[in-house]
Amino acid sequence: MSKGLGTTIGRSSRRRILRLAGGGITMAALGAGLIGCEDELATGGEGSTPPPRSASPEDGKAPEDGKAPEPLWTKSTSAQTYGDNDELVAVDGVVIASGDPLAAFDGATGEERWSLPGGAVPGAPLLLGDGTLYLESGKYDGSVAGYVPGSGKEAWRSRLGKEYRQPRPVAVDAEQVYVIAEILEADHSSHTNVIAALNSGTGKVAWKEQRDLGTQQNGVHAAVQGRYLVYTDFKNNLTVRDTATGKQVWTQKTTKTSYGPFVVHQDLVIVPQGQRLQAFALSDGSEKWSVRAEEFTTFREPTLLEDVLYIADSGRTLWAVEPGTGKKIWQSTALKDAGGQVPRQFVKVGGTLYGATDLDKQGGVHAFDGKTGALRWTFNDKSGDYHAWLVATDGKRVFALHGKKLHALPA
């Protein structure tokens, strides 16, 4: 499966709107993107989570009092994120957060390993594929660059062409980097966009296809699964293209705009759409299964880990689902019982599932029992920062980013 799963380009998501509002940036230009914000604000509550304890529990287990472990280390970073899952990665012994300069920290010690001024557009996705970190160029020179994650050395660079403006990577596999770019008119305006594949070895354009008039280059989430490139956008489109030719295999309207990542598993694409979680066949778009949440609740972003799909709903119920069938493995109301915030991103280490939340005093990073969904502890740095929490793991530690603070927690 591609490492580019669920990538976002453009930053007009519900989470970004909340971040911008918290930062005092005007809302006037955001328009219809405000739809759905009430869902984010409906969860959580007053109060605060327990402070970090003085000694860290072993193997990610909660101490008897349920308090969170103390961070192994905490660093201030240059991170400039908008709450999307692909803005924090852990790979090759380092952890990297989107920002300018782009900086990599040693996972074990927190010491800076390398820094790259202008390396990435702040908030842009960090795409990993075949040992390379692919970035939209922070120099705004129309290029896409690839770097060795452990050293920060440039390994690859490509340009789509002068007639296109700022190609933005949306997904990557072992052979190609997939980008979306604006098509420039003679007066340098743009009304259409193109989706293209760049060869990850040579940088040459493998194919390019103009998207339909009215589609946008922003707000795209994409993933690659075998011969299929799958993506959604703010126009309620779910589209599948052939990775070899770029030709459209099928497209259909979704019943509700997907504001966050989706999941691909074997021959299925699984998309949350309000109260329903639906799975469609990659080959023809036919519906294969559907799961419905309780009335007046909506599903959040799903994550696929070790062939289990984890997802929370706005009613603060956590689900573990078989991705091939939609069959429920377990449900947990531990968050509802504790008054905790709903997680929207997950990582797993051993038997512990870690979930990162949006902004809320009862949020942060939750640790759950991976077999039952029981809540073990919640870590919150009490900073009051309006940014969403992001998590990543190297299998030994869980990295939690909140605003410009990066914490390493024992896993």
- pLDDT score, position 21: 39
DSSP 8-state symbol, 20: H
- pLDDT score, position 3: 45
- For residue 113, pLDDT beyond 70: yes
- For residue 216, pLDDT beyond 80: no
- pLDDT score, position 10: 42
Q: Which percentage of the chain shows pLDDT scores above 70?
A: 82
> Rounded mean pLDDT of the chain?
84
Mean pLDDT of the 383-389 span: 91
CB atoms within 10 A of CB 174: 12
- For residue 340, pLDDT beyond 80: yes
Residues ≥6 apart with Cβ < 8 Å to 275: 292, 293, 295, 297, 298, 299
Which residues, listed in sequence order, are joined to residue 83 by a DSSP beta bridge?
A: none
Residue 14 confidence class, pLDDT cut points 50, 70, 90? very low
- pLDDT score, position 9: 44
- pLDDT score, position 257: 58
Mean pLDDT of the 274-291 span: 96
- pLDDT score, position 84: 84
- For residue 151, pLDDT beyond 50: yes
Minimum mean pLDDT range among 48-62, 216-230, 339-353, 397-411: 48-62
- pLDDT score, position 259: 58
> What is the chain's alpha carbon radius of gyration, rounded to the nearest angstrom?
20
pLDDT, tens only, 21-35: 333 333 333 333 333
Residue 161 confidence class, pLDDT cut points 50, 70, 90? confident
Residue 109 confidence class, pLDDT cut points 50, 70, 90? very high
Residues ≥6 apart with Cβ < 8 Å to 378: 49, 50, 68, 338, 340, 362, 363, 364, 365, 366, 367
Cis peptide before 125 (omega within 30 of 0): no
pLDDT, tens only, 34-65: 333 333 333 333 333 434 433 444 444 545 55
Q: Are 195 and 246 in contact (CB under 8 A)?
A: yes
Residue 263 confidence class, pLDDT cut points 50, 70, 90? very high
